[in-house]
Amino acid sequence: MGRSEEDDDSGTGAGMAATDEMYGPGHTDYELERLTVQARLIEPITRRWFVEAGIGAGMRVLDVGSGAGDVALLAAELVGASGEVIGTDRVATPLSVASRRAAAKSLTNVRFIEGDPCEMDFDQPFDGVVGRYVLMYQPDPTSTLRRLVEHVRPGGVVVFHEPYRDGVRSFPPVPTYDRCWQFLDDVFRGTGADSIMGIKLHSVFVAAGLPAPTMRLEAVIAGGGECDDHIHFEVDPVRSILPHIERLGLARVEDLDVDALAGRVREELIESGGVIVGRAEVGAWTRVP
């Protein structure tokens, strides 16, 4: 039997249960702050896709894998005072941050519940389910999506935003930047996360019994010494995954000097006169039959 949305204990079922083990960066204070910085680059992308998908005023929306709340807060803004957003995550620490952020914005149409949404019962169906960087951490994303869709009414919207990291690069080569993103990809592989989930969304949606989704792809790209957010986009996660880097034998932590990584990337980028390209962001959405 699933949990109700009034419960506040931690879910223990399948579905999203592997997220804790597969989420390489963890939930440290540094990581939660990094996610806030990251959102400055990718929130405009997610916003465009949500709007195009039909997330709008008066809707009741389920956000899965809420973390520090960036996506849930965005959805709350889009559904307005007449709508409602329920954010869920298996880990309590980021949800407390999300709740404080909602309160600071005086948002009364969003609340957060700890647990696995695949195992929850809700008192009424949702008009939409949304998630960002969620399916990439599921051992069986098709099964996870199929179970999440059970919470959505017929005609409701399903929107997911996932990465496709196959095109991260620099040109001309920026060695420190390239080493950082390669660390990330190696850790994703080592922890079982799927760093190219974005390109698989079409097949996952269809296998979950949904109509073929509309899809979009965008990426961030920049050059010069003033593109701090773009540099930190791929460099800052290295600090969060240091335990995995050492555990997987990719490098010795004492040899990396993580505090200097961003500065070195900036210097090499200016010297090369080139650009750095972040991961591709892929959005997919459809409606429940």
Residue 114: which of 69, 161, 76, 84 has the closest Cα? 69
Phi-psi map region of 83: left, alpha, beta (phi>0 left; psi -120 to 50 alpha):
beta
Domain span holding position 118? 3-287
**Where residue 129 sits, what CATH number does that domain have?**
3.40.50.150
Q: What is the pLDDT along the chain (289 residues), one digit of tens a residue?
A: 343 443 333 332 333 444 444 444 445 666 666 766 788 899 999 999 999 999 999 999 999 999 989 999 999 999 999 999 999 999 998 899 899 999 999 999 999 999 999 999 999 999 999 999 999 999 999 999 999 999 999 999 999 999 999 999 999 999 999 999 999 999 999 999 999 999 999 999 999 999 999 999 999 999 998 899 899 999 999 998 999 999 999 999 999 999 999 999 999 999 999 999 999 999 999 999 9
CA distance 240 to 218: 25
Burial class (CB in 10 A: 0-12, 13-18, 19+), 289: exposed
| Residue 185 structure tokens | 């990809």
Q: How many domains does the chain have?
A: 1
Nearest to 194 by CA among 137, 273, 150: 137
Q: Tokens 């960002």 belong to which residue?
A: 132
Closest to 130 (Cα-Cα) out of 243, 285, 241, 278 = 285
